[in-house]
Structure 1
Amino acid sequence: MSAATIPEIITIALAKSFADHEVGFTGLVTGAAAMLYGTSIPLAAMMFAKLTHAPNLTILLAGWSHNPDLASLAALPDQEFDSTLLDLPCEAQTVRYPGQFSFKRGHVDFGFSSGVQLDVTGSLNSVVIGDHARPKVRLVGPILQPEHMTIFRREYVMLPHHTARVLVEKVDYVSGVGYPGGLAGRAALGIPEGGPEWVVTPECIFDFDKEAGRIRLRSIHREERRGELAGVTGFALPDLEDAPATPEPTAEELDLLRRVVDPRGLLLGRAPEH
Protein backbone atom coordinates (compact mmCIF):
# COMPACT_ATOMS: atom_id res chain seq x y z
CA MET A 1 0.00 0.00 0.00
CA SER A 2 1.35 3.44 -0.93
CA ALA A 3 2.25 5.95 1.78
CA ALA A 4 -0.41 8.22 3.25
CA THR A 5 -0.96 11.58 1.58
CA ILE A 6 -1.21 14.81 3.56
CA PRO A 7 -5.05 14.89 3.20
CA GLU A 8 -5.19 11.30 4.50
CA ILE A 9 -2.95 12.11 7.47
CA ILE A 10 -5.15 15.09 8.33
CA THR A 11 -8.35 13.09 7.89
CA ILE A 12 -7.35 10.41 10.40
CA ALA A 13 -6.04 12.97 12.90
CA LEU A 14 -9.33 14.87 12.74
CA ALA A 15 -11.44 11.71 12.98
CA LYS A 16 -9.77 10.68 16.23
CA SER A 17 -10.71 14.01 17.85
CA PHE A 18 -14.47 13.40 17.42
CA ALA A 19 -16.54 11.63 20.07
CA ASP A 20 -19.53 9.32 19.81
CA HIS A 21 -22.97 10.98 19.83
CA GLU A 22 -21.55 14.33 18.67
CA VAL A 23 -23.03 16.43 15.84
CA GLY A 24 -20.64 17.77 13.22
CA PHE A 25 -21.47 20.45 10.63
CA THR A 26 -19.71 21.27 7.40
CA GLY A 27 -20.85 23.40 4.49
CA LEU A 28 -19.98 23.55 0.80
CA VAL A 29 -17.14 25.71 -0.48
CA THR A 30 -15.92 26.35 -4.02
CA GLY A 31 -12.50 26.04 -5.59
CA ALA A 32 -10.49 22.81 -5.59
CA ALA A 33 -8.15 23.58 -2.68
CA ALA A 34 -10.85 25.19 -0.54
CA MET A 35 -13.26 22.33 -1.28
CA LEU A 36 -10.67 19.75 -0.24
CA TYR A 37 -9.96 21.37 3.13
CA GLY A 38 -13.33 22.94 3.87
CA THR A 39 -15.67 20.15 2.79
CA SER A 40 -14.04 16.91 1.60
CA ILE A 41 -11.53 16.24 4.38
CA PRO A 42 -14.13 17.04 7.09
CA LEU A 43 -16.67 14.69 5.47
CA ALA A 44 -14.12 11.88 5.15
CA ALA A 45 -13.00 12.39 8.76
CA MET A 46 -16.54 12.27 10.12
CA MET A 47 -17.38 9.16 8.10
CA PHE A 48 -14.18 7.44 9.26
CA ALA A 49 -15.10 8.23 12.87
CA LYS A 50 -18.60 6.80 12.34
CA LEU A 51 -17.12 3.56 11.00
CA THR A 52 -14.70 3.17 13.89
CA HIS A 53 -15.12 4.67 17.36
CA ALA A 54 -18.12 7.02 16.94
CA PRO A 55 -21.00 5.11 15.29
CA ASN A 56 -23.60 7.54 16.64
CA LEU A 57 -21.91 10.69 15.34
CA THR A 58 -24.24 12.77 13.15
CA ILE A 59 -22.92 14.39 9.96
CA LEU A 60 -24.78 17.53 8.88
CA LEU A 61 -23.78 18.35 5.32
CA ALA A 62 -24.79 21.91 4.40
CA GLY A 63 -26.82 21.87 7.61
CA TRP A 64 -29.71 19.84 6.21
CA SER A 65 -28.48 16.52 4.77
CA HIS A 66 -28.17 14.10 7.70
CA ASN A 67 -25.60 11.31 7.44
CA PRO A 68 -25.33 11.26 3.64
CA ASP A 69 -24.08 8.18 1.80
CA LEU A 70 -20.77 9.67 0.70
CA ALA A 71 -19.53 6.52 -1.04
CA SER A 72 -22.32 6.87 -3.62
CA LEU A 73 -21.16 10.33 -4.73
CA ALA A 74 -20.05 10.47 -8.36
CA ALA A 75 -19.24 14.19 -8.17
CA LEU A 76 -18.96 16.70 -5.38
CA PRO A 77 -21.83 19.21 -5.13
CA ASP A 78 -20.74 22.85 -5.25
CA GLN A 79 -23.97 24.54 -4.16
CA GLU A 80 -26.03 24.15 -1.00
CA PHE A 81 -29.08 22.89 -2.90
CA ASP A 82 -27.26 21.37 -5.86
CA SER A 83 -29.25 18.52 -7.46
CA THR A 84 -26.34 16.19 -6.66
CA LEU A 85 -26.85 16.86 -2.97
CA LEU A 86 -30.65 16.83 -3.17
CA ASP A 87 -30.55 13.37 -4.76
CA LEU A 88 -27.84 11.98 -2.47
CA PRO A 89 -29.12 9.13 -0.27
CA CYS A 90 -29.10 10.09 3.39
CA GLU A 91 -30.89 9.33 6.65
CA ALA A 92 -32.95 12.53 6.53
CA GLN A 93 -33.25 15.95 4.91
CA THR A 94 -34.29 18.98 6.95
CA VAL A 95 -35.09 22.06 4.90
CA ARG A 96 -37.18 23.97 7.43
CA TYR A 97 -35.69 25.87 10.35
CA PRO A 98 -35.00 24.88 13.07
CA GLY A 99 -35.36 21.20 12.21
CA GLN A 100 -34.00 18.36 14.30
CA PHE A 101 -30.69 20.15 14.93
CA SER A 102 -30.43 23.90 15.53
CA PHE A 103 -27.06 25.59 15.91
CA LYS A 104 -28.72 28.50 17.73
CA ARG A 105 -29.88 26.05 20.38
CA GLY A 106 -26.39 24.66 20.82
CA HIS A 107 -26.99 21.34 19.08
CA VAL A 108 -23.81 21.43 16.96
CA ASP A 109 -20.73 20.12 18.75
CA PHE A 110 -18.18 21.02 16.11
CA GLY A 111 -17.95 22.68 12.73
CA PHE A 112 -15.46 23.57 10.01
CA SER A 113 -14.66 26.95 8.50
CA SER A 114 -11.98 28.69 6.49
CA GLY A 115 -10.79 32.17 5.57
CA VAL A 116 -8.01 34.18 3.94
CA GLN A 117 -6.38 35.30 7.20
CA LEU A 118 -6.03 33.80 10.66
CA ASP A 119 -4.09 35.41 13.49
CA VAL A 120 -2.35 34.42 16.72
CA THR A 121 -5.60 34.69 18.72
CA GLY A 122 -7.40 32.35 16.32
CA SER A 123 -9.55 35.13 14.87
CA LEU A 124 -10.55 34.59 11.25
CA ASN A 125 -11.07 36.99 8.33
CA SER A 126 -13.04 36.42 5.14
CA VAL A 127 -14.36 39.98 4.66
CA VAL A 128 -11.65 42.40 3.48
CA ILE A 129 -7.92 42.80 3.03
CA GLY A 130 -6.83 46.24 4.21
CA ASP A 131 -8.95 48.88 5.91
CA HIS A 132 -12.65 48.05 5.98
CA ALA A 133 -13.62 51.54 4.78
CA ARG A 134 -11.21 51.43 1.82
CA PRO A 135 -10.26 47.80 1.32
CA LYS A 136 -7.58 46.56 -1.03
CA VAL A 137 -9.66 43.45 -1.67
CA ARG A 138 -13.28 42.78 -0.76
CA LEU A 139 -13.89 39.12 -0.03
CA VAL A 140 -16.85 36.77 0.17
CA GLY A 141 -18.08 37.93 3.58
CA PRO A 142 -18.53 36.30 6.99
CA ILE A 143 -20.52 33.27 5.67
CA LEU A 144 -21.74 32.07 9.09
CA GLN A 145 -18.30 32.42 10.70
CA PRO A 146 -19.65 34.50 13.63
CA GLU A 147 -21.97 31.61 14.51
CA HIS A 148 -19.34 28.92 13.93
CA MET A 149 -16.90 30.63 16.29
CA THR A 150 -19.39 31.46 19.03
CA ILE A 151 -22.38 29.09 19.04
CA PHE A 152 -20.74 25.81 17.99
CA ARG A 153 -19.01 24.09 20.90
CA ARG A 154 -15.72 24.01 19.01
CA GLU A 155 -14.44 24.89 15.57
CA TYR A 156 -11.84 23.40 13.24
CA VAL A 157 -10.38 26.08 10.96
CA MET A 158 -9.28 24.46 7.70
CA LEU A 159 -6.76 26.49 5.69
CA PRO A 160 -5.82 25.14 2.24
CA HIS A 161 -2.73 27.38 2.04
CA HIS A 162 0.02 27.89 4.62
CA THR A 163 1.71 31.23 3.89
CA ALA A 164 2.73 34.32 5.82
CA ARG A 165 -0.13 36.19 4.08
CA VAL A 166 -2.68 33.75 5.50
CA LEU A 167 -1.23 33.15 8.98
CA VAL A 168 -0.72 36.67 10.32
CA GLU A 169 -0.04 38.43 13.61
CA LYS A 170 -3.37 40.29 13.42
CA VAL A 171 -6.21 39.92 10.92
CA ASP A 172 -7.40 42.97 8.99
CA TYR A 173 -11.01 42.25 9.97
CA VAL A 174 -12.55 39.83 12.47
CA SER A 175 -15.33 37.79 10.86
CA GLY A 176 -14.91 34.91 13.30
CA VAL A 177 -13.62 35.63 16.80
CA GLY A 178 -10.88 33.57 18.42
CA TYR A 179 -9.40 34.19 21.86
CA PRO A 180 -8.50 37.90 22.07
CA GLY A 181 -7.53 38.23 25.72
CA GLY A 182 -7.92 34.48 26.18
CA LEU A 183 -10.99 32.85 27.67
CA ALA A 184 -11.47 35.91 29.87
CA GLY A 185 -11.51 38.09 26.76
CA ARG A 186 -14.18 35.93 25.14
CA ALA A 187 -16.24 36.06 28.34
CA ALA A 188 -15.97 39.87 28.36
CA LEU A 189 -17.41 39.83 24.83
CA GLY A 190 -20.37 37.81 26.10
CA ILE A 191 -19.14 34.52 24.60
CA PRO A 192 -19.12 31.91 27.37
CA GLU A 193 -18.03 28.91 25.28
CA GLY A 194 -16.97 27.73 21.85
CA GLY A 195 -14.09 29.02 19.74
CA PRO A 196 -11.41 27.51 17.52
CA GLU A 197 -10.04 24.15 18.64
CA TRP A 198 -7.57 23.37 15.85
CA VAL A 199 -6.21 25.18 12.82
CA VAL A 200 -5.31 22.69 10.08
CA THR A 201 -3.01 23.53 7.16
CA PRO A 202 -1.12 21.46 4.54
CA GLU A 203 1.95 21.81 6.80
CA CYS A 204 0.75 21.33 10.36
CA ILE A 205 -1.95 21.41 13.01
CA PHE A 206 -2.20 24.24 15.52
CA ASP A 207 -4.16 24.31 18.76
CA PHE A 208 -4.43 27.01 21.43
CA ASP A 209 -3.38 28.03 24.87
CA LYS A 210 -6.90 29.25 25.52
CA GLU A 211 -6.14 30.94 28.83
CA ALA A 212 -3.39 33.02 27.23
CA GLY A 213 -5.27 33.44 23.95
CA ARG A 214 -2.33 32.32 21.81
CA ILE A 215 -1.98 29.83 18.99
CA ARG A 216 0.58 27.05 19.38
CA LEU A 217 2.02 24.35 17.18
CA ARG A 218 0.46 20.95 17.87
CA SER A 219 2.09 18.78 15.20
CA ILE A 220 3.91 18.89 11.85
CA HIS A 221 2.88 16.64 8.97
CA ARG A 222 6.32 16.11 7.40
CA GLU A 223 9.58 16.26 9.38
CA GLU A 224 11.51 17.48 6.35
CA ARG A 225 9.39 20.66 6.35
CA ARG A 226 10.18 21.65 9.95
CA GLY A 227 13.07 23.93 9.00
CA GLU A 228 10.95 25.84 6.47
CA LEU A 229 7.85 26.35 8.59
CA ALA A 230 8.94 29.58 10.30
CA GLY A 231 9.59 31.22 6.93
CA VAL A 232 6.05 30.63 5.68
CA THR A 233 4.28 31.64 8.89
CA GLY A 234 3.53 35.29 9.67
CA PHE A 235 3.99 34.96 13.43
CA ALA A 236 6.61 33.47 15.74
CA LEU A 237 6.67 29.72 16.38
CA PRO A 238 8.38 29.35 19.78
CA ASP A 239 7.43 25.67 19.98
CA LEU A 240 8.74 24.75 16.51
CA GLU A 241 11.59 22.51 17.68
CA ASP A 242 9.46 20.60 20.18
CA ALA A 243 6.35 19.95 18.10
CA PRO A 244 5.86 16.25 17.32
CA ALA A 245 4.97 14.74 13.96
CA THR A 246 1.31 14.35 13.07
CA PRO A 247 0.72 10.59 13.50
CA GLU A 248 0.82 8.52 10.31
CA PRO A 249 -2.25 6.35 9.68
CA THR A 250 -1.82 2.63 10.13
CA ALA A 251 -2.20 0.26 7.20
CA GLU A 252 -5.62 -0.79 8.53
CA GLU A 253 -6.76 2.84 8.80
CA LEU A 254 -5.61 3.62 5.27
CA ASP A 255 -7.37 0.54 3.94
CA LEU A 256 -10.66 1.56 5.55
CA LEU A 257 -10.27 5.14 4.34
CA ARG A 258 -9.48 4.18 0.74
CA ARG A 259 -11.69 1.13 0.34
CA VAL A 260 -14.83 2.15 2.26
CA VAL A 261 -14.88 5.89 3.07
CA ASP A 262 -13.56 7.17 -0.26
CA PRO A 263 -13.63 4.25 -2.71
CA ARG A 264 -13.67 6.49 -5.81
CA GLY A 265 -10.93 8.80 -4.56
CA LEU A 266 -13.39 11.65 -4.90
CA LEU A 267 -13.09 13.21 -1.45
CA LEU A 268 -9.34 13.08 -0.88
CA GLY A 269 -8.10 13.57 -4.41
CA ARG A 270 -6.51 10.26 -5.27
CA ALA A 271 -7.45 7.47 -7.68
CA PRO A 272 -8.43 4.23 -5.95
CA GLU A 273 -5.81 1.47 -5.89
CA HIS A 274 -6.51 -1.84 -7.63
Structure 2
Amino acid sequence: MSESHHTPSAGAPTLAETIAVTLARSFSDGEVGFTGLVTGGAAALFGTSIPLAAMALAQAMHAPNLTILLAGWSHNPDLQSLSVMPDSEFDAVLRDLPCDAQMMTYPGPWSIRRGDIDFGFSSGVQVDVAGNINSVCIGDPARPKVRLVGPILQPEHMTLFGREYVMMPHHARRNFVERVDYVSGVGYPGGLEGRRRLGLHHGGPEWVVTPKCIFDFDKENGRIRLKSVHSEADRQDIAAHTGFDIDSAGVPQTAAPTPEELDLLRRHVDAKGVLLGRHGSRPAV
Protein backbone atom coordinates (compact mmCIF):
# COMPACT_ATOMS: atom_id res chain seq x y z
CA MET A 1 0.00 0.00 0.00
CA SER A 2 1.58 3.26 -1.09
CA GLU A 3 0.70 6.64 -2.48
CA SER A 4 0.70 5.31 -6.04
CA HIS A 5 -2.80 4.57 -7.30
CA HIS A 6 -3.42 0.86 -7.68
CA THR A 7 -6.20 -1.68 -7.35
CA PRO A 8 -5.69 -4.27 -4.63
CA SER A 9 -6.20 -7.97 -5.28
CA ALA A 10 -9.71 -9.27 -4.83
CA GLY A 11 -10.69 -9.37 -1.20
CA ALA A 12 -7.56 -7.59 0.05
CA PRO A 13 -8.13 -4.48 2.15
CA THR A 14 -7.53 -1.17 0.42
CA LEU A 15 -5.39 1.46 2.06
CA ALA A 16 -8.53 3.49 2.83
CA GLU A 17 -10.13 0.48 4.52
CA THR A 18 -7.02 -0.23 6.57
CA ILE A 19 -6.86 3.37 7.79
CA ALA A 20 -10.59 3.41 8.58
CA VAL A 21 -10.28 0.26 10.70
CA THR A 22 -7.18 1.57 12.49
CA LEU A 23 -8.99 4.79 13.37
CA ALA A 24 -12.13 2.95 14.46
CA ARG A 25 -10.18 0.92 17.00
CA SER A 26 -9.04 4.14 18.71
CA PHE A 27 -12.55 5.48 19.46
CA SER A 28 -14.43 4.73 22.68
CA ASP A 29 -18.09 4.21 23.43
CA GLY A 30 -19.90 7.40 24.39
CA GLU A 31 -17.48 9.73 22.60
CA VAL A 32 -18.52 12.52 20.22
CA GLY A 33 -16.61 12.82 16.94
CA PHE A 34 -16.72 15.75 14.53
CA THR A 35 -15.78 15.90 10.86
CA GLY A 36 -16.42 18.55 8.25
CA LEU A 37 -17.44 18.11 4.63
CA VAL A 38 -14.32 18.17 2.47
CA THR A 39 -14.58 17.99 -1.32
CA GLY A 40 -12.23 17.01 -4.09
CA GLY A 41 -10.61 13.60 -4.70
CA ALA A 42 -8.02 12.47 -2.19
CA ALA A 43 -8.79 15.42 0.11
CA ALA A 44 -12.41 14.30 0.42
CA LEU A 45 -11.40 10.68 0.95
CA PHE A 46 -9.01 11.49 3.80
CA GLY A 47 -10.88 14.48 5.22
CA THR A 48 -14.45 13.16 5.26
CA SER A 49 -15.03 9.68 3.86
CA ILE A 50 -12.46 7.71 5.85
CA PRO A 51 -13.40 9.48 9.13
CA LEU A 52 -17.10 8.78 8.55
CA ALA A 53 -16.45 5.13 7.74
CA ALA A 54 -14.22 4.81 10.81
CA MET A 55 -16.80 6.31 13.17
CA ALA A 56 -19.64 4.22 11.72
CA LEU A 57 -17.49 1.09 12.00
CA ALA A 58 -16.71 1.86 15.64
CA GLN A 59 -20.45 2.23 16.30
CA ALA A 60 -21.05 -1.18 14.74
CA MET A 61 -18.11 -2.87 16.50
CA HIS A 62 -17.67 -1.64 20.05
CA ALA A 63 -18.98 1.92 20.47
CA PRO A 64 -22.77 1.92 19.88
CA ASN A 65 -23.14 5.18 21.81
CA LEU A 66 -20.53 7.09 19.82
CA THR A 67 -22.04 10.21 18.21
CA ILE A 68 -21.08 11.29 14.69
CA LEU A 69 -21.34 15.02 13.97
CA LEU A 70 -21.09 15.56 10.21
CA ALA A 71 -20.43 19.19 9.26
CA GLY A 72 -21.33 20.01 12.86
CA TRP A 73 -25.08 19.88 12.30
CA SER A 74 -26.04 16.40 11.05
CA HIS A 75 -26.09 14.02 14.01
CA ASN A 76 -25.56 10.31 13.36
CA PRO A 77 -26.40 10.46 9.65
CA ASP A 78 -27.62 7.25 8.00
CA LEU A 79 -24.56 6.73 5.82
CA GLN A 80 -26.00 3.59 4.26
CA SER A 81 -28.61 5.79 2.57
CA LEU A 82 -25.97 7.70 0.61
CA SER A 83 -25.72 7.07 -3.13
CA VAL A 84 -23.23 9.90 -3.67
CA MET A 85 -21.18 12.00 -1.29
CA PRO A 86 -22.43 15.57 -0.67
CA ASP A 87 -20.21 18.17 -2.33
CA SER A 88 -20.74 20.99 0.17
CA GLU A 89 -21.77 21.40 3.81
CA PHE A 90 -25.26 22.54 2.82
CA ASP A 91 -25.71 20.31 -0.22
CA ALA A 92 -29.26 18.99 -0.67
CA VAL A 93 -27.86 15.44 -0.38
CA LEU A 94 -26.73 16.19 3.17
CA ARG A 95 -29.81 18.24 3.97
CA ASP A 96 -32.09 15.33 3.05
CA LEU A 97 -29.95 12.56 4.54
CA PRO A 98 -31.80 10.73 7.33
CA CYS A 99 -30.17 11.31 10.71
CA ASP A 100 -30.94 11.36 14.42
CA ALA A 101 -31.17 15.17 14.42
CA GLN A 102 -30.13 18.33 12.64
CA MET A 103 -28.79 21.25 14.64
CA MET A 104 -28.66 24.71 13.11
CA THR A 105 -28.54 26.80 16.29
CA TYR A 106 -25.84 27.39 18.91
CA PRO A 107 -24.99 25.92 21.32
CA GLY A 108 -27.34 22.93 21.03
CA PRO A 109 -26.66 19.64 22.85
CA TRP A 110 -22.92 19.65 22.04
CA SER A 111 -20.84 22.79 22.22
CA ILE A 112 -17.33 23.23 20.88
CA ARG A 113 -16.61 25.93 23.44
CA ARG A 114 -17.76 23.77 26.35
CA GLY A 115 -15.31 21.07 25.28
CA ASP A 116 -18.06 18.59 24.41
CA ILE A 117 -16.26 17.22 21.32
CA ASP A 118 -13.97 14.31 22.15
CA PHE A 119 -12.19 14.14 18.81
CA GLY A 120 -12.20 15.70 15.38
CA PHE A 121 -10.58 15.50 11.97
CA SER A 122 -8.74 18.21 10.07
CA SER A 123 -6.13 18.60 7.37
CA GLY A 124 -3.71 21.12 5.96
CA VAL A 125 -1.07 21.73 3.32
CA GLN A 126 1.79 21.65 5.82
CA VAL A 127 2.51 19.83 9.09
CA ASP A 128 5.69 20.45 11.06
CA VAL A 129 7.73 18.59 13.66
CA ALA A 130 5.72 20.11 16.52
CA GLY A 131 2.39 19.09 14.98
CA ASN A 132 1.39 22.60 13.93
CA ILE A 133 -0.70 22.64 10.75
CA ASN A 134 -1.08 25.26 8.03
CA SER A 135 -3.94 25.83 5.62
CA VAL A 136 -3.57 29.61 5.23
CA CYS A 137 -0.59 30.41 2.97
CA ILE A 138 2.72 29.25 1.55
CA GLY A 139 5.66 31.61 1.98
CA ASP A 140 5.95 34.78 4.01
CA PRO A 141 2.45 35.57 5.36
CA ALA A 142 3.05 39.26 4.54
CA ARG A 143 3.72 38.41 0.87
CA PRO A 144 2.63 34.80 0.36
CA LYS A 145 3.46 32.80 -2.73
CA VAL A 146 0.12 30.98 -2.47
CA ARG A 147 -3.02 31.79 -0.50
CA LEU A 148 -4.90 28.73 0.71
CA VAL A 149 -8.43 28.04 1.92
CA GLY A 150 -7.92 29.52 5.40
CA PRO A 151 -8.11 28.18 8.96
CA ILE A 152 -11.65 26.68 8.59
CA LEU A 153 -12.19 25.98 12.33
CA GLN A 154 -8.69 24.53 12.78
CA PRO A 155 -7.88 26.76 15.79
CA GLU A 156 -10.92 25.31 17.57
CA HIS A 157 -10.18 21.72 16.47
CA MET A 158 -6.65 21.89 17.83
CA THR A 159 -7.46 23.62 21.11
CA LEU A 160 -11.05 22.89 22.18
CA PHE A 161 -11.52 19.29 21.04
CA GLY A 162 -10.22 16.48 23.23
CA ARG A 163 -7.86 15.25 20.50
CA GLU A 164 -7.38 15.72 16.77
CA TYR A 165 -6.66 13.34 13.91
CA VAL A 166 -4.86 15.25 11.14
CA MET A 167 -5.68 13.59 7.82
CA MET A 168 -3.10 14.31 5.11
CA PRO A 169 -4.06 13.05 1.62
CA HIS A 170 -0.50 13.45 0.30
CA HIS A 171 2.89 12.71 1.82
CA ALA A 172 5.70 14.79 0.29
CA ARG A 173 8.55 16.96 1.54
CA ARG A 174 6.54 20.10 0.82
CA ASN A 175 3.75 18.80 3.14
CA PHE A 176 5.95 17.68 6.04
CA VAL A 177 8.27 20.54 6.94
CA GLU A 178 10.52 21.56 9.81
CA ARG A 179 8.35 24.61 10.50
CA VAL A 180 5.05 25.59 8.91
CA ASP A 181 4.83 28.95 7.14
CA TYR A 182 1.70 29.87 9.13
CA VAL A 183 0.16 28.23 12.21
CA SER A 184 -3.55 27.76 11.58
CA GLY A 185 -3.79 24.91 14.09
CA VAL A 186 -1.41 24.66 17.05
CA GLY A 187 0.38 21.44 17.92
CA TYR A 188 2.97 21.02 20.69
CA PRO A 189 5.44 23.94 20.35
CA GLY A 190 7.57 23.47 23.45
CA GLY A 191 5.67 20.26 24.27
CA LEU A 192 2.79 20.10 26.72
CA GLU A 193 4.38 22.84 28.80
CA GLY A 194 4.48 25.02 25.71
CA ARG A 195 0.76 24.47 25.21
CA ARG A 196 0.12 25.33 28.84
CA ARG A 197 2.01 28.60 28.40
CA LEU A 198 -0.43 29.38 25.60
CA GLY A 199 -3.34 28.70 27.97
CA LEU A 200 -4.09 25.30 26.41
CA HIS A 201 -4.58 22.59 29.01
CA HIS A 202 -6.01 19.79 26.88
CA GLY A 203 -6.43 18.77 23.27
CA GLY A 204 -3.95 18.87 20.43
CA PRO A 205 -3.07 16.51 17.59
CA GLU A 206 -3.17 12.80 18.41
CA TRP A 207 -2.22 11.23 15.07
CA VAL A 208 -1.24 12.47 11.63
CA VAL A 209 -2.48 9.99 9.02
CA THR A 210 -0.94 9.87 5.55
CA PRO A 211 -0.95 7.47 2.58
CA LYS A 212 2.41 6.16 3.79
CA CYS A 213 2.20 6.04 7.58
CA ILE A 214 0.65 7.16 10.83
CA PHE A 215 2.53 9.62 13.04
CA ASP A 216 1.91 10.22 16.71
CA PHE A 217 3.72 12.51 19.17
CA ASP A 218 6.15 12.63 22.02
CA LYS A 219 3.91 15.22 23.66
CA GLU A 220 6.23 16.08 26.54
CA ASN A 221 9.00 17.05 24.15
CA GLY A 222 6.73 18.31 21.38
CA ARG A 223 8.10 16.10 18.60
CA ILE A 224 6.36 14.10 15.92
CA ARG A 225 7.33 10.43 15.54
CA LEU A 226 6.34 7.40 13.49
CA LYS A 227 3.66 5.18 14.98
CA SER A 228 3.33 2.75 12.05
CA VAL A 229 4.11 2.41 8.35
CA HIS A 230 1.56 1.07 5.88
CA SER A 231 4.00 -1.20 4.02
CA GLU A 232 7.66 -2.11 3.87
CA ALA A 233 7.94 -0.13 0.64
CA ASP A 234 6.64 2.93 2.49
CA ARG A 235 9.23 2.37 5.22
CA GLN A 236 11.99 2.58 2.63
CA ASP A 237 10.94 5.92 1.14
CA ILE A 238 9.37 7.84 4.04
CA ALA A 239 12.63 9.65 4.78
CA ALA A 240 12.89 10.80 1.15
CA HIS A 241 9.34 12.18 1.27
CA THR A 242 9.54 13.90 4.67
CA GLY A 243 11.15 17.32 5.13
CA PHE A 244 12.57 16.57 8.58
CA ASP A 245 14.53 13.72 10.15
CA ILE A 246 12.43 10.71 10.96
CA ASP A 247 13.50 7.27 12.17
CA SER A 248 11.53 4.28 10.86
CA ALA A 249 13.73 1.58 12.40
CA GLY A 250 11.68 -0.81 14.50
CA VAL A 251 8.40 0.94 13.71
CA PRO A 252 5.66 -1.66 13.16
CA GLN A 253 3.56 -2.01 10.05
CA THR A 254 0.00 -0.73 10.31
CA ALA A 255 -2.12 -3.68 11.43
CA ALA A 256 -4.39 -5.08 8.74
CA PRO A 257 -8.14 -5.36 9.34
CA THR A 258 -9.35 -8.66 10.65
CA PRO A 259 -11.69 -10.60 8.36
CA GLU A 260 -14.56 -9.71 10.70
CA GLU A 261 -13.75 -6.00 10.64
CA LEU A 262 -13.40 -5.97 6.87
CA ASP A 263 -16.65 -7.84 6.39
CA LEU A 264 -18.49 -5.44 8.69
CA LEU A 265 -17.00 -2.45 6.90
CA ARG A 266 -17.92 -3.74 3.45
CA ARG A 267 -21.31 -5.30 4.14
CA HIS A 268 -22.73 -2.92 6.73
CA VAL A 269 -20.88 0.42 6.88
CA ASP A 270 -20.04 0.94 3.20
CA ALA A 271 -22.03 -1.66 1.29
CA LYS A 272 -22.45 0.64 -1.73
CA GLY A 273 -18.80 1.66 -1.80
CA VAL A 274 -19.77 5.34 -1.63
CA LEU A 275 -17.45 6.23 1.24
CA LEU A 276 -14.30 4.31 0.43
CA GLY A 277 -14.71 3.73 -3.30
CA ARG A 278 -14.26 -0.05 -3.24
CA HIS A 279 -16.71 -0.47 -6.12
CA GLY A 280 -15.01 2.06 -8.34
CA SER A 281 -16.77 5.28 -7.33
CA ARG A 282 -13.40 6.65 -6.22
CA PRO A 283 -9.91 5.33 -7.12
CA ALA A 284 -7.83 3.65 -4.47
CA VAL A 285 -5.13 5.81 -2.91
Distance 2:122 2:163 in 1: 11
Where does structure 2 lack aligned partners over 5 or more consecutive residues?
Answer: 1-9, 281-285
> For each residue in 1:107-159, what CA deviation from the matched residue of structure 2 results, as whole angstroms up to 9, or x when unmatched?
00000000000000000000000000100000010000000000001000000
SS at match of 1:131: coil
| Corresponding pairs, count | 271
SS at match of 2:141: coil
Is 1:187 the counterpart of 2:196? The answer is yes
Distance 2:126 2:75 in 1: 30
> For each residue in 1:210-233, what CA deviation from the matched residue of structure 2 results, as whole angstroms up to 9, or x when unmatched?
000000000001122211111001
SS at match of 1:198: strand
Other-structure match for 1:245: 253
Other-structure match for 2:210: 201
Is 1:257 the counterpart of 2:255? The answer is no
Other-structure match for 2:91: 82
2:253 aligned partner, one-letter code: A
Other-structure match for 1:172: 181
Other-structure match for 1:27: 36
SS at match of 2:98: coil
Q: 1:1-274 to 2 correspondence within 5 Å? A: 2-238=11-247, 240-271=248-279
Contact 2:213 2:234 in 1 (8 A): no
1:199 aligned partner, one-letter code: V
> For each residue in 1:185-229, what CA deviation from the matched residue of structure 2 results, as whole angstroms up to 9, or x when unmatched?
000011111000000000000000000000000000112221111
Where does structure 1 lack aligned partners over 5 or more consecutive residues?
Answer: none
Identity %: 68
TM-score, length-normalised on structure 1?
0.98
SS at match of 1:103: coil
Distance 1:75 1:30 in 2: 12
Distance 1:150 1:78 in 2: 27
TM-score, length-normalised on structure 2?
0.94
2:269 aligned partner, one-letter code: V
Distance 1:30 1:8 in 2: 19
SS at match of 1:266: coil
Distance 1:148 1:225 in 2: 29
Distance 1:170 1:270 in 2: 36
Distance 1:44 1:16 in 2: 12
Distance 1:106 1:140 in 2: 25
2:134 aligned partner, one-letter code: N
Contact 2:190 2:222 in 1 (8 A): yes
Distance 1:30 1:121 in 2: 27
Structure 1 stretches (4+) deviating beyond 6 angstroms?
Answer: none
Other-structure match for 2:7: none
Distance 1:182 1:271 in 2: 43
Contact 2:30 2:63 in 1 (8 A): yes
Distance 1:25 1:225 in 2: 29
